[in-house]
Amino acid sequence: MIMNNLTLALQWLFFFLLMGLGVYTMKVIKNEKRNYLENAQEVDFKNFKLLTPRWWTLINSTENEIVFKRTDTRYDWEARFIWNEEVSPLNLIELFQSKIHAREILFDEESSVIHNPSDFKDKDLIKSGRFEMVRLEGTATAERMERLYYDAFLIREIESGHYLYAESKSSILNGLVEGPYFEEVMLRLSLIDNPAI
pLDDT of residue 196: 46
Residue 186 identity: M
Q: Which residue from 92, 100, 90, 182 is spatially nearest to 131, judged by alpha carbons?
A: 92
pLDDT of residue 28: 60
Query: 133 lies in which domain range?
Result: 39-191
**Phi and psi for 177 in degrees, rounded to 5?**
-85, -55
In a domain, 197, yes or no: no
Whether 2 and 78 share a structural domain: no
Whether 18 and 60 share a structural domain: no
Is the CA virtual torsion 144, 145, 151, 156 positive or negative? negative
The kind and range of the H/E element at 78 are strand 77-84
The rounded distance, in Å, linking the Cα atoms of 150 and 152 is: 7
The kind and range of the H/E element at 82 are strand 77-84
Whether 126 and 177 share a structural domain: yes
52, 78 Cβ separation under 8 angstroms: no
Residues belonging to the chain: 197
**Phi and psi for 188 in degrees, rounded to 5?**
-100, 5
Whether 116 and 183 share a structural domain: yes
pLDDT of residue 48: 94
**CA-to-CA separations, 44 to 19, 66, 90, 173, 194, in angstroms, rounded:** 41, 10, 28, 29, 10
pLDDT of residue 137: 93
For residue 167, the domain's CATH number is 3.40.1000.10
Whether 43 and 20 share a structural domain: no
Q: Which residue from 53, 58, 57 is spatially nearest to 34, judged by alpha carbons?
A: 53
Whether 48 and 140 share a structural domain: yes
- Average pLDDT per block of 10 residues along the chain, 197 residues long: 76 83 65 73 94 92 94 85 94 94 90 87 87 93 86 95 95 78 92 63
Q: What's the pTM value of the predicted model, to 2 decimals?
A: 0.79
Instruction: Say whether 73 sits in a helix, a strand or coil.
Output: coil
122, 187 Cβ separation under 8 angstroms: no
Count of the separate structural domains present in the chain: 2
